[in-house]
A and B are shown apart, each in its own frame.
Chain A
Amino acid sequence: MTQDTLVQTLRAGFGPALAASQGGAARRLVLDVDLTALRAVALALRDAGGRYMVGVGSDERDRRGAFSMIHLFAFDKEGFTADLRASAPADKPEFDSIAPEIPSAGWTEREYMDLLGFTFKGNPKPKRLILADDWPAGIHPLRKDVPYNLVPPSAEDVAYELDEAPPGTTIVPIGPFHPTLHEPAHFAVYVDGETIKGCDYRGFMTHRGIEKLCQTQVSYNEVPFVAERICGICGSVHATAYAQSVEEAAGIKIARRAEFIRTIMLEIERLHSHLLWLGVAGHLIGYDTIFMQSWRVREPIMWLSERLTGNRKTYGMVVIGGVRRDITPALKDDILNVLRKVEDEVGGLKDAVLKDTSIHRRTKGVGLIPREEAVAWSLIGPVARARGVDIDVRRDHPYAAYDEVAFDVPVTDSGDVWGTLVVRLLEVFESIKIVRQALDKMPSDGPLLTEVADVLPAFRHGLSMVEAPRGESVHYVVTGTENRPERWRVRAPTYTNLQGVPRMLLDNQLADFPIIVGSIDPCFSCTDRVLVVEGRDRSRRVLARSEIEALGRGRRT
């Protein structure tokens, strides 16, 4: 269904309750609806093939006297998005829930119950999602009258109440600290014998309030560096997505060369991330040789990133208007050399992994869900592509320089963890292909950074999706008046995929819990320094950078 026919159908169905308009950029459909029609139009969008991305709730009482709720849908085949917007009065922020039919909206709604004090009539699980269990009721931190640094007193003897366990099951607590999880989160897994019969999730234990911080404290061009720290693995994705959404909102057109450099950095990031994940996946099924070998192959990519950006990770390359560093001809050769070696070694790794029948035994049929349910849960990234859902933001909603490079989107219909493994391994070769083409087609000169006006127009909306290694990241920006976003909404891919995990776990064995949760690739980051304490005289010394490098890299050639 094209954008036009969709609008016609909706107009016919909802008449005066709906106003359709063209968003700030091409291929952005904006639908303003009456509060009462929100749910019906959302369902109509889903029925028309829309994929639910996320919701954006905002406190706009100061300028409009209302709360706003935006549901974002993507039409991947047709390559456009639809913002479904509705407002509720300041004294009664109540919306109809769409979560019963669109389950991936469940967290969005629970998030705004916590953060903005919204009510969603008919939400099937109106429990706390984000706020700590001892956070006082009635304080909603994303509302504008709540200061960003508010620290309410903590309370004793409050705990999250788990969902009721199905009869005949026992609860296995996994988390907040468990070797399967690299970040604190709690899964209460209900098992019958060793078969998983259900699962409740309590996470958001390290919620940092980044959105609130950036809406109240920092300025436009500081946000990319905060955004990059959302994730230690796909930081460049978040910085790019944020910058693109501001650029879209303010109508900034950046230099083509900068777009190519962004593309190259995103793909180099994907290379490191896919190899990192392969290693973790090996570890989770007790195959540490895969773990060590794939991280060995990954290491030269980290060194390459360091030569390109100054950092192994958290590149700090992206700002609004372009990028901060150039890829010189010497660096271009460097990239090509590293890619040649990595391609060769991943080729060997791929054969070793995909032909190993013992790996087949641990991954085939594990976390199996059919395509229809993957669509129903709006799964994204390799998790969706492993289940026959042929979506990839890079191809469906091209950004940066992806419209100028040719690549395949590997899709399998095995529907299980095995499929995820295959998809991610094959994507490594596609990434290499993309980087080579981008280096080839990149304009040989031109500015890296486009001049951006001192004052950006206020209250413009910008949306950007970027395909992170583990799925689509969505950033939504409403520009503000104080040289910072009025509203910045981030949705990392795990937010969506994690909601589908309880379904993937159902009727699997407890032994498969690690690899099923691991298959969506929840992320971790660490920046340790090494302190050596000598055994005999207790003397201490901090290793110099060169010594740490020697430990990790051996002799450098």
Chain B
Amino acid sequence: MRALIYVFPLINAAVFLLLAPLFEGVLRKLAAKIQSRQGPPLIQPYRDLLKLLGKQNLNSAGTWPFKLAPLGAFAAVLVVVVLIPFGGRLGVFAGRLDIIVVVYLLTLGGVAVLLGALASRNTFALIGASREMVTMIMVEPVLAVTLILGAVKLRSLGLAAAMPGAAGAKFTLSTGLMLAVYLLALQAFVARQPFDIAEAEVELLEGPFIEYSGPNYALFKYAMMLKQMFYAWLFVSVFLPWIRTGIYPADIVLQLAAMLVVFLLIGLVGSTNPRLRIDQAVRYYAVLIVLSLAAVALAVKGW
């Protein structure tokens, strides 16, 4: 049984890499249904990725950071995926790492996007980058606090304790508040409407990604799909800890099913809202930060 902890990270990576485009496909299908359209087949995102991977990689900016940024973004998210206790099982690395690493890696992924945008020296990419930066500064605290909440309750920053942290702890007032805040920030985490502000197709022509094409663009897209899936998993794992049977394959299936529900929620909100302006979004994020800090204060008090 000990040997299995070496297998869990691989299973994590395999499941996420295989299913991330499918979840994306679900979002697109759902949006189509809400808009009275037929929509693309569920497997369309796989085709999109394959198509992009088969195209030429243009290095329009002609710089190294521009070329490396997509790899950086993809790698950062993939490492996060490998580390997490998916299906309620801790892999070999999890015991030695803490939640700060997870927050750090997610930020690194965002920084890689910024780097690529800045390196591409395109006006629209620069505006997109500045919006992305503001979003990161305002939204990362909510993510951090979500993880810290469990840490506060169990008095440990360890990944093992904190990630399914709220699971070990009781569902209290602070958990409830954090759950609400997390749901309100969910669209921003996954950069969906009303918070697809940095990419904003009709304004910035996909902003940070405007100069990217082919495999590099595919990596960015793939990274975003993985990130999306991670945030859905985090919600399920932290706030719905009772979804577990103790049987590993069954837990994986249950978590995936719950994640699917989270995705339906993302799709529903995304299709029924216009995009906000960055100044409006910042005001919204500010409220979320205050609320999440309040949740920590409650947790410290033991509520």
Contact = CB atoms under 8 A, between A and B. Distances in A.
Given A178-B205, A286-B202, A293-B35, A358 B127 contact: no
A288 B35 contact: yes
A358 B194 contact: yes
A34 interface: no
Interface string B124-138: 100100000000000
Interface in B165-224: 193-194, 196-197, 200-203, 205
Contacts, number: 75
Given A172-B127, A173-B123, A289-B35, A510 B203 contact: yes
Interface string A177-213: 0111000000000000010000000000000000000
Nearest to B124: A172
Contact of A514 (B202, B276, B279): B202
Contacts of A284: 202
A290 B35 CA distance: 8
A512 B193 CA distance: 16
Interface bracket on A = 20 to 34
Contact of B276 (A172, A361, A510): A361
A296 B36 CA distance: 8
A286 B37 contact: no
A513 interface: yes
Interface in A226-273: none
Contacts of B36: 292-293, 296
Q: What's the dominant secondary structure at chain B's contact region?
A: loop
A362 B274 contact: yes
Contact of A362 (B123, B202, B275): B275
B63 interface: no
A194 B127 contact: yes
Interface residues of B, number: 27
B35 A286 contact: no
B196 A286 contact: yes
A376 interface: no
A56 to B, nearest CB: 36
B200 A286 contact: yes
A511 B35 contact: no
Contacts of A178: 205
A295 to B, nearest CB: 9
B295 interface: no
Nearest to B280: A361
B205 A179 contact: yes
A359 B205 contact: no
A109 B194 CA distance: 44
Contact of B194 (A170, A179, A283, A286): A286
B203 A511 contact: yes
A289 B276 contact: no
A288 B203 contact: no
Interface string A356-375: 00110110000000000000
Interface in A279-322: 282-293, 296
6 contacts: A179-B201, A286-B200, A289-B34, A292-B36, A509-B277, A511-B275
Interface of A: 170-173, 178-180, 194, 282-293, 296, 358-359, 361-362, 509-514
